[in-house]
């Protein structure tokens, strides 16, 4: 699981390449892991899209600790890729999330056996 820290909720504005408008992203800091699975001591800065609520309004992540769901993580050509469209989850939800994931995988393993 990758730990994420949000320090500043203020989004950054970018212009679309075709000049048709702008979009916003938010700076997040991801604590990557080394080859042995240990968390690196310093985070890497990333930009992610800002999640939207039910009404379609952008709601920036508030300062705090989050985690990236495993569904959002990919390895391509040996490089870590994190989907900027997958919402971060508050660290307070980690235990419940892990229980759900383990239960799902356990069910798949039982069906395969």
- Whether the predicted pLDDT of 113 surpasses 70: no
- Whether the predicted pLDDT of 31 surpasses 90: yes
Q: Which two tokens stand for residue 44?
A: 């890497």
Domain tally for the chain? 1
State how far the Cα of 107 lies from the Cα of 65, in Å rounded to an integer: 30
Whole-structure pTM value: 0.76
pLDDT (mean) for 55-80: 88
- Whether the predicted pLDDT of 84 surpasses 60: yes
State how far the Cα of 109 lies from the Cα of 34, in Å rounded to an integer: 28
- Whether the predicted pLDDT of 19 surpasses 80: yes
Residue ranges of alpha helices (H) inside 1-113 are: 94-112
- Share the mean pLDDT of the chain: 87
Asked if 49 and 85 touch (Cβ cutoff 8 Å), the reply is yes
pLDDT (mean) for 59-81: 87
Q: Which two tokens stand for residue 49?
A: 């899209």
Q: Which two tokens stand for residue 18?
A: 């075709």
Look up the domain containing 24 and give its range.
2-112
């Amino acid at each position: 699981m990758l730990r994420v820290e949000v320090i500043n909720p203020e989004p950054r504005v970018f212009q679309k390449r075709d000049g048709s408008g702008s979009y916003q992203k938010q700076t997040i800091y991801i604590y990557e892991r080394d080859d042995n699975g240990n968390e690196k001591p310093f985070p890497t800065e990333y930009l992610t899209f800002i999640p939207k609520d039910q009404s379609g309004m952008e709601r920036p992540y508030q300062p705090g600790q989050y985690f990236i769901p495993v569904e959002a993580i990919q390895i391509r050509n040996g490089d870590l890729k994190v989907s900027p469209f997958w919402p971060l989850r508050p660290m307070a939800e980690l235990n419940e999330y892990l229980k759900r994931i383990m239960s799902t995988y356990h069910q798949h393993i039982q069906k395969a056996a």
